[in-house]
Amino acid sequence: MSDLIRMTGLNSGLDTESIISAYTSKATKRVTDAKNSLTKNKWTQTAWQDLNKKIYSFYANTLSTNRLSTAYSKQKVTTSNSALSVVAGKSAVNGIQSARIEQQATAAYLTGSKVDIKKGDEKLTEKLGIAEGSTITLRKADNSTVDITIGSGEGQVNTMDKLTAAIKKAGFNANFDAGNQRLFISGKDTGKANDFSFEGDITALAKLGIASADQLSTLPDATGYKAASKIDGQNAMLELNGAMFESNTNTFTINGSTYTINAMPADKNEMISVTTSADYDAVYDVVKDMLKEYNDLINEMSKLYNADSSKGYEPLTDEQKEAMTEKEIEDWENKIKDSLLRNDDTLFGVMDAMTSTMNKGINVGGKNMYLADFGIATLGYFSSEKNERYALHIDGDSDDSATAGNKDKLKTMIASDPETVTKFFSQLSGELYKNLYAKMGSSSMSSIYKVYNDKQLATEEKDWEKKIAELEQKVSDMEDKYYDRFASMEKAIANLNGKQTAVSGMLGYSN
């Protein structure tokens, strides 16, 4: 449609704009309808993308995990003393073990004695009287060493700030507490492998406050010096069933299970019992969580499929939006968006695949079993809300007001026959996984892992964009044609008016 500004009707007095608008109204209506269809197409793609994301998450995460029997192999471990905690591994065997904590892992830690320095940038040679060129050696647990030379020469350190920087560079924590006038140095991790010691010029070590008592004893005159306090880094040691295990941290991985020392018992010789047993509550939660996700999905799909009609509602034009509030615009557009998947055949197909699978019998040990055998069923057509008729409820579920008072068959089955529960729900999850995958298969109209025809919708979007351009060009051509005709008419009227004026002038002159 043309954006030209035309001056029309000057001679005829006609409202040319309105007349041409009336002539092109049907063609303009076709443009508006096409634009509305394009808008609905885009909104439909968004609606499907949001829903597909949830379906795929259920498929790829929950069902992918729950179809494996290991998802139901849940165990819990209790210990007779909280000083030791245990997380059961996949290979853990139910039973009672005996453990004893020999020692905790500790980090090497050195607390220096007080020195006559109150600022980190004060000169060590001046304030502490350390001789230029004195070298101290930081020895690591692997016997590698780092030499640090005190002085003002290149590569040397002459302040506490530079000394701590050098120690940090060697791989340890270091800080000078100016308020307490002490060096604090520690290993970054626990264990003997992260221990350290200082050697070299003992006088320099003494003046820095990091010499040991043994080192001070070698000085001819150690008056005025105090030894640093040092805790050696040590490994944790745990005795389990008579065998001793060692770790540089307080965590051990033994036969797939994780043992963590939290503290030393009051009695080092205390034997701690470690009891591993089936975690029935965890298995129940696996089933309950899966059903909750299923219910959330099937309820949302039911709501979309059963949505009210939006007949009479079309996307708003810019002019219409100008006359409405933001809330009115939002409500109007939501009315359309909420109905986009109403009675959608593709959506029905996904819903049918899911509900049919959940109603299917699963062969366990030669016997067909159903969800109802585990106390799981829908509430019934008249007992549930319109869009919750496919939702599944667990008898005895304390979080479900509709079935909380019923006998809990699922928990009873998990406790009495966990193998049957595992086989049933892993197979059921596998069936649903397989059937959803069938809906997500790639085709000429859809991409892989999409339950809707995303390729088709994308093609339709491009088709609408092309059609709109063609229709707009037609309207523009029509407008140009009518404007040309009215322009010719205006020119003719102008010529006629000119001749009439000339004749009138002549007649007036002759009189």
Could you report the per-residue pLDDT of 375-431, keeping only the tens digit for each?
Answer: 999 998 889 999 999 999 999 999 999 999 999 999 999 999 999 999 999 999 999
Mean pLDDT of the 249-256 span:
94
Q: Picking from 303-312, 456-465, 466-475, which range would have the lowest pLDDT averaged per residue?
A: 466-475
- Asked if pLDDT for residue 58 goes beyond 60, the answer is yes
> Residue 477: what pLDDT?
78
Tell me which amino acid residue 47 is: A
- Asked if pLDDT for residue 24 goes beyond 80, the answer is no
Mean pLDDT of the 300-322 span:
94
Backbone angles phi, psi at 141, to 5 degrees: -65, -25
CB atoms within 10 A of CB 280: 18
Mean pLDDT of the 305-317 span:
94
> Residue 510: what pLDDT?
46
- Asked if pLDDT for residue 9 goes beyond 70, the answer is no
> Where does residue 395 rank: exposed (0-12), middle (13-18), buried (19+ CB within 10 A)?
buried
Mean pLDDT of the chain: 91
> Residue 500: what pLDDT?
66
Please work out, in degrees rounded to the nearest 5, the angle formed at the alpha carbon of residue 110 by the alpha carbons of 106 and 115: 165
> Residue 7: what pLDDT?
46
- Asked if pLDDT for residue 5 goes beyond 50, the answer is no
Percent of the chain clearing pLDDT 70 (strictly above):
93
> Residue 508: what pLDDT?
59
> Residue 441: what pLDDT?
87
Q: Picking from 256-265, 388-397, 491-500, which range would have the lowest pLDDT averaged per residue?
A: 491-500
- Asked if pLDDT for residue 491 goes beyond 80, the answer is no
Among 386, 393, 391, 392, smallest CA distance to 305 is for 386
Grouping H, G, I as helix, E, B as strand and the rest as coil, residue 97 is strand
Q: Are strands 182-187 and 95-103 parallel, antiparallel or unpaired?
A: unpaired
Report the Cα 164 to chain-centroid distance in Å: 40
Q: Picking from 313-327, 335-349, 439-453, 480-494, which range would have the lowest pLDDT averaged per residue?
A: 480-494
Tell me which amino acid residue 168 is: K
> Do 137 and 196 meet the contact criterion of CB atoms below 8 Å apart?
no
Mean pLDDT of the 236-245 span:
97
Provide the b/e sequence for 359-382 (b: ≥16 CB within 10 Å).
eeebebeeeebebebbbbbbbeee
97-128 pLDDT, tens per residue? 999 999 999 999 999 999 999 999 999 999 99
How far is 118 from 100, CA to CA, in rounded Å?
47
Instruction: Give the tokens for residue 228.
Output: 């640093």
Among 1, 46, 33, smallest CA distance to 317 is for 33
How far is 177 from 160, CA to CA, in rounded Å?
10
CA separation (Å) from 256 to 66, 89, 250, 259, 315?
A: 21, 5, 16, 10, 60
Helix or strand holding residue 356 (H, E): helix 345-358
pLDDT level of residue 506 (50, 70, 90 thresholds): low
> Residue 481: what pLDDT?
78
Helix or strand holding residue 357 (H, E): helix 345-358
Mean pLDDT of the 261-282 span:
95
- Asked if pLDDT for residue 511 goes beyond 50, the answer is no
pLDDT level of residue 181 (50, 70, 90 thresholds): very high
> Residue 12: what pLDDT?
55
> Residue 92: what pLDDT?
84
pLDDT level of residue 60 (50, 70, 90 thresholds): very high
pLDDT level of residue 93 (50, 70, 90 thresholds): confident
> Where does residue 25 rank: exposed (0-12), middle (13-18), buried (19+ CB within 10 A)?
exposed
Higher pLDDT, 509 or 361: 361
> Do 268 and 299 meet the contact criterion of CB atoms below 8 Å apart?
no
- 135 has which bridge partners? 149
Instruction: Give the tokens for residue 86.
Output: 């245990």
Handedness of CA 422, 369, 394, 63 (dihedral sign): positive
Sheet containing 257-261, strands listed edge to edge, beginning at the edge strand earlier in sequence? 84-87, 257-261, 251-254
